[in-house]
Amino acid sequence: MKPNSSQEKLLELLVKSIDNPMTIRDLQEELGLASPSVVHYHLQQLELKGLLKRNPNNPKDYQIIDGNAKEIVYLNLYGLAQCGPTGSILDGSPTDRIPIASRILKFSSEDGFIVKAKGDSMEPAIKAGDLVIAQKNKVASSGDLIVCVNNEFALIKKFHIQGEQVILQSFNDKYPPILAAFDFRIEGLVKCIVNYQ
């Protein structure tokens, strides 16, 4: 069953705002609908038509189902290694291409990459050998988990801004916070962790 014109507009808006999901009230205002219940109705209809999958516990967590989309996509795998003074983790050749179910990505596969975690600084959430799926991005908000280059090394860290200073934190308490170096740059935002043990 095809969506009606209101549902098509809603679907377009959901696709456009997938990286920064809108509230029900925002969607209502943007679409000029009478009430939030009308938005809920159209969201339910999109689900019934197989065009949308929502997390019942988090209205901002959803996946657009594209009937033409591939079920499996391949993302480049890069190592967490030294990058050189101006190098990027994405400059070198990938070490592998990993098949991933497209349904777990909430962004275009063209913007995705994978790094293999090493060390224990991000335990218990990320262990050595885990595959970390990230979305290419050069900016982050305080509290985001990022893949970055700092002092020429590629790292996975929690990003914090304190005043004028960028602080990179580990989850493992035995590692102190790191101040961002002159060569610090963000490569991507961590979106998913695949435990590989």
pLDDT tens digits, one per residue of 52-96: 777 666 667 677 776 555 567 888 888 776 555 556 677 667 888
Confidence of residue 40 (pLDDT cuts 50, 70, 90): confident
Q: What is the pLDDT of residue 90?
A: 72
Q: What is the pLDDT of residue 69?
A: 53
Region of residue 129 (left: phi > 0; alpha: psi -120 to 50; beta: else)? left
Residue with tokens 């293999």: 116
Q: Whole-angstrom Cα distance, residue 87 to residue 71?
A: 33
Q: What is the pLDDT of residue 85?
A: 59
Give per-residue pLDDT as tens, 136-151: 999 999 999 999 999 8
Q: What is the mean pLDDT of residues 110-120?
A: 89
55, two tokens: 């997390």
Mean pLDDT of the chain, nearest integer: 83
CA distances for 6 relative to 3, 28, 40, 137, 175, angstroms? 8, 11, 12, 32, 51
Q: Whole-angstrom Cα distance, residue 117 to residue 97?
A: 16
CA distances for 17 relative to 13, 111, 114, 123, 173, angstroms? 6, 16, 23, 32, 35
Q: What is the pTM of this model?
A: 0.64
- The type of residue at 192 is C
Range with the poorest average pLDDT among 103-112, 127-136, 163-172: 103-112
Confidence of residue 174 (pLDDT cuts 50, 70, 90): very high
Q: Whole-angstrom Cα distance, residue 147 to residue 187?
A: 5
* Domains of the chain with bracketed CATH: 5-64 (1.10.10.10), 72-194 (2.10.109.10)
User: Is residue 161's pLDDT more than 90?
Assistant: yes
Residue ranges of alpha helices (H) inside 2-132 are 5-16, 24-31, 36-48
Q: Is 9 helix (H, G, I), strand (E, B) or coil?
A: helix
User: Is residue 188's pLDDT more than 80?
Assistant: yes
β-partners of residue 97 are 76
Confidence of residue 100 (pLDDT cuts 50, 70, 90): confident
Q: What is the pLDDT of residue 16?
A: 81
Confidence of residue 156 (pLDDT cuts 50, 70, 90): very high
